[in-house]
Structure 1
C-alpha cells in the first residue's frame, strides 16, 4: 500500500516501529489473516506507546482515512477470541 502511517514525531524510533508493526498487523488481518497471539503481542507494544483510549481511537481514525482499514473491529474480535480455540483472525471478506 502507498500511504503514510499516522505517526507522532515525538515518538522514539522504537515507538514508531511498534506502531507501524501494529498497523501492519491490522492490514494483514484485512488482506489475509494473522495469528491471534502475534496480533496480541503487537497490540500490547502499541498500547505501551499509546496507552490512552483517545489517542488509540485517533490513530484508528487517521489510519482508516488513509488505508480504509479500521483497527477497532479487529481488536474487538481479538478480545472476543482470546482464550478460545481460534488461532487466526481474518477480516477479509
Structure 2
C-alpha cells in the first residue's frame, strides 16, 4: 500500500522524517585506560593518582556502545559555560550505513 500525504498523493520520500532520529543516545568519551594490579587497586584512596595510557594532549575517543564513532580533543568552554568540559571533534566515522 502506498504511503499518502494529506492530499491523497504519494508522500515525497525526502520529506519523511525518520522518528528514530529524535531518540537520544549516550556517547561515552574515553580518555584512556589504566591497568593496575588488583593489590594496587585495593590500596587506592582519595587523592591517589592512577596513571593512564595516554597523555593530556592525546585525542579522546567517542563510542556509542562499543562502536568508535569519532575522535577529538578535550577543551573547556568559555563564557556562561566556563569550566564545562567539551570535545572538539577532529575525526568522524561515516555513520550513514548505521552504527
Alignment TM class, shorter chain as reference: under 0.3
> TM-score, normalization: structure 1?
0.23
Query: Is the radius of gyration larger for structure 1 or structure 2?
Result: 2
Higher strand share: 2
Higher helix share: 1
Answer 1 or 2: higher relative contact order, Cα 8 Å, separation at least 6: 1
